[in-house]
Every structure is written in structure tokens, then in C-alpha cells.
Amino acid sequence: MDSGPVESPSGVGVIDKAALVLSALESGPATLAQLVSITHLARPTAHRIAVALEHHRLVSRDAHSRFTLGPRISELAGAAGEDRLLALAGPVLNALRDKTHESAQLYRRQGDMRVCVANAERPIGLRDSIPVGAALSMLAGSAAQVLLAWEEPERLHRGLQNARFNATVLSVVRRRGWAQSVGEREPGVASVSAPVRGAGGRVVAAISISGPIERMGRQPGALHGAAVIAAARHLSELLANSEAH
């Protein structure tokens, strides 16, 4: 018998338990023991629910066999007409691309990965193309730095393991409000990112531009940091206004 509440909030117990598991994974990867601790479900129940969700790609496993949110989550979010962030992001990304003349992207974190959920490609010339739906590592790149920099200490420390940046770099990111990378994610590619904030100031996404080092230089943040921050703040304001109505 589960050690959690007897009554089902929705009246459909299995759905409530599945929702508990998904909510538990919102803050990052979790072992079965951690799922049990967070959800207060019995161990066999937590395992059964997580494995069933994995079958439907709503849950995945990372390299350490921990449970994480699965790719189906972002697919459903992308298809949802009421996804305010994606609905608002297009014009902002287009404007950022036109201002910087570099490809622009919007990333959300999903477990140990970051997923490109919207983009605005540079139309001609050499560019760094990141298709919508592409899942990239959280261990390298300016967007990964931004998505990790404002995390809670425990999760931040865990995210730095094997990363190509360190705590000092993230401290600088928090102080100046933007991150840069030069050949960190991929040789020859530079990028600049800034945080998009939702309710309560929580970082919900990273807005980025990326392109060849030969054009963006070895200090791309000095060249484009202000423009990327302005775009991130504008998108954050649009999101706050949409949530208020």
C-alpha cells in the first residue's frame, strides 16, 4: 500500500500517481529511491509508474540509469497552442537574428540535456544550424551555462560534474547576466546566451545566438552580450504580461 494520501485528488488514482512522478522529475534526474522519497509512493508502485511512462517516452533514463523527463514532454509542449513562451519567442528570435546577423535559438532544459525549442536561422552564409527538437549536452555551451547558473546549489554542483566550465565561470555568468562559449560545444563555433525568466524570476529558458568563431570572435559576449540580454529581457517581459492576462 502506498504511504501517501489515500484519497485521489482527481478521482483517478493512477493518473495522480503518474503526475506525482512527472512532477518529481521536473527538478532533474532521480533514482528510484529518490522518486520514492519525493512522491511517497511505495517502491514497487513508483517503479511501475515510471517504467510505464518510459514506455510512452514521457520518461527516459540518463547515462547513470536515473529517471528523467522524456522527449515526448517537449514534443507535446511544442504542439500545444497555449505554450506562451514558444508563441512569443518567434518575433524576438527573428529580431535578434536581424540585429546580430547570427542564428538565434531558444533552449529549455530537459533532464541532463537542453532542447532547442525555437530558432531563427541566418538565411545565407556560414552559420551554426541547430534544428528545433535537437537535444544538446548540458556539459558545454553558453546556453548550458545559463540554464545551470541559477540552479539550486545541489543541482548546480551535480551539473558541473564533467562539464567544460566550472563554478567560477557560472559565478561570472550570474554577475554579468550573459554567458559565452568559444569552441566549447563544437570546434569553430562561438555562442552567447542570456536567461529568459518566468514567474517569480525563475529561469525557464536560454536565448542564444551562435555562429563561426571567425565572425563572432574570441570574445563574442563583448560584441553581442548587450543584444542577447535585451532580447532575453524583452521575451521575459512578454511572458510576464501574457501570464497576467
Q: Counting beta carbons within 10 angstroms of the beta carbon of residue 164, is it exposed (0 to 12), middle (13 to 18) or buried (19 or more)?
A: middle
Residues 6+ away with beta carbon under 8 Å from 77? 83, 86, 117
What is the residue-wise DSSP string for 120-141?
E--SSSS-----TT-EEESSSS
Mean pLDDT score, 16-24: 93
Neighbouring CB atoms inside 10 A of 29's CB total 20
**The predicted structure's pLDDT at residue 93:** 97
Q: What pLDDT is attached to residue 81?
A: 40
Predicted confidence at residue 32, as pLDDT, reads: 95
* pLDDT greater at residue 126 or residue 22: 22
pLDDT over threshold 90, residue 177: yes
Is residue 156 over pLDDT 50?
yes
Taken in order of first residue, the domains within the chain and their CATH numbers are: 13-80 (1.10.10.10), 84-244 (3.30.450.40)
> What digits encode the pLDDT tens for the residues 53-104?
999 999 999 888 999 998 888 777 655 544 788 889 999 999 999 999 999 9
What is the predicted pLDDT for the residue at 199?
78
Query: With 60 as the cut, is the pLDDT of residue 109 above it?
Result: yes
Q: Which grid cell sits at 94?
A: 527573428
Average confidence (pLDDT) over 168-185: 96
pLDDT band at 111 (very low <50, low <70, confident <90, very high): confident
- On the question of pLDDT at 1 being above 50, the answer is no
Asked if the model's pLDDT at residue 3 lies above 50, the reply is: no
- 4: pLDDT strictly greater than 60: no
In this prediction, residues 48-54 reach a mean pLDDT of 95
Residue 46 has pLDDT above 90, yes or no: yes
Mean pLDDT of 23-50: 93
